[in-house]
Amino acid sequence: MKKKIGVKILGTGSYFPEKVLTNLDLEKIVDTSDEWISARTGIKERRVSEKNEPTSELAFRASVEAFKFANILPKQVDMIIVATITPDMFFPSTACFLQRKLNIPSVPAFDLSASCSGFIYGISVAKAFIESGLYKKILLVGADELTKITDWTDRNTCVLFGDGAGAMVLSASHENDDILSVFLGADGSYSNLLFLPAGGTFNPATVDTVNERLHTVKMYGKEVFRVAVPKMVFAAEKALEFSGKKLEDVKLFIPHQANMRIIMAVAKKIGISIDKVFVNIHKTGNVSSATTITALDEAIKSGRLKSGDIVELVAFGGGFTWGASVIRI
């Protein structure tokens, strides 16, 4: 019988822009306080990209790190996937811009849109392509610049977001199978709670849409919070069940970094102790598609994880979308 093709994680990388925006800086922009932001979200500061630093640039820098770690050359990958909701342009895809920056010859490259769950969706797509035997080495990136679609007059949202990118190189393997499970979900009936109203075909850009700030994120935070917790718990429990592992086997739980109170509530409901939960929201804010992969990269590079450890990633975002994945690093 033909042996099943497994997936090996060859390496990870991440990149955050240099510029730091603290809560104290935000106090000067909108009616807010470090005290409110810290207590309600856990965020202390976030990174903000420059005007001439598009999403593909962050993706490029994270990818270079991942290739270094994986000890392979960019030209060795045969597919590029970028999970993002803040592409450089509507088209071509950010994956194509990244391909150009990495000087990778003609391999398929495309973007994937699943909001903050984008990287987990990407893991699922990369796993399926590799297991199918069609592709052998995939560069998967989660990259977003939400600060470029933020309404800096809206204190309900502008304190929450940051920019960043994370990358993972995955390879076909006959010895390893590092993606133990993936579970995905979505419910479009919630699409009116977290969205960007204009600029698409529903509401094309006009002077009015710009003046009305309709090219920025709109969110009904309380409602999002209410759905996020049970969906993240459900996804995490399903992915764990499908992986055949027990909660005790999980060395580190890496949740989407949107709000410290969401992270605590999810951890409590799953029954995992907070010392096994990775948190970096205080210094990154919500970096959307990039949260789980940048956190994973930091956990690996800081020595918190070692080879062979079991990790669970879980995310939730606009759509709504959600997903979780149990992996071995």
The residues assigned a catalytic role are 116, 256, 286
- Closest distance between ligand UT7 and the C-beta of residue 155, in Å? 4
CB-nearer residue toward ligand UT7: 30 or 107? 30
Per-residue exposure over 200-214, b if at least 16 CB sit within 10 Å of its own CB, e if not: eeeeeeeeeeeeebb
Closest CA to 314 of 273, 284, 277: 277
Q: In the stretch 159-188, what mask flags binding to ligand UT7 with x, by CB under 6 A?
A: x-----------------------------
Closest CA to 142 of 159, 118, 173, 170: 118
Closest CA to 16 of 56, 81, 61, 54: 61
- Closest distance between ligand UT7 and the C-beta of residue 316, in Å? 6
- Closest distance between ligand UT7 and the C-beta of residue 140, in Å? 19
CB-nearer residue toward ligand UT7: 32 or 76? 32
- Closest distance between ligand UT7 and the C-beta of residue 200, in Å? 19
- Tokens representing 248 are 């005790």
- The answer to the question of residue 156 lying near ligand UT7 (CB under 6 A) is yes
Rounded to 5 degrees, φ, ψ at 80 are -125, 125
- CB count within 10 Å of CB 289 equals 37
Contacting ligand UT7 within 206-235 (CB under 6 A): 221-222, 224-225, 228
- The answer to the question of residue 116 lying near ligand UT7 (CB under 6 A) is yes
From start to end of 58-108, where are the E strands?
A: 79-83
Contacting ligand UT7 within 238-277 (CB under 6 A): 258-259, 262
Closest CA to 329 of 6, 4, 10, 5: 10
Q: How many residues make contact with ligand UT7 (CB under 6 A)?
A: 20
- The answer to the question of residue 113 lying near ligand UT7 (CB under 6 A) is no
Which one-letter amino acid corresponds to residue 296?
L
CB-nearer residue toward ligand UT7: 107 or 260? 260
- Closest distance between ligand UT7 and the C-beta of residue 294, in Å? 14
Of the listed pieces 155-163, 171-179, 198-206, 276-284, which binds ligand UT7 according to CB under 6 A?
Answer: 155-163
Residue with the shortest CB distance to ligand UT7: 221
Helix (H) or strand (E) holding 156: helix 155-158
- Tokens representing 74 are 């960019």
Could you tell me what percentage of the chain is helix, strand and coil, using 3-state DSSP and rounding each to the nearest 5?
40, 25, 35
Closest CA to 166 of 50, 62, 279: 62
Q: In the stretch 2-41, what mask flags binding to ligand UT7 with x, by CB under 6 A?
A: ------------------------------x---xx--xx
Rounded to an integer, what distance in angstroms lies between the CA atom of residue 196 and that of residue 217? 5
Contacting ligand UT7 within 38-57 (CB under 6 A): 40-41
Residues contributing to the site for ligand UT7 (CB under 6 A): 32, 36-37, 40-41, 116, 155-156, 159, 221-222, 224-225, 228, 258-259, 262, 286, 316-317
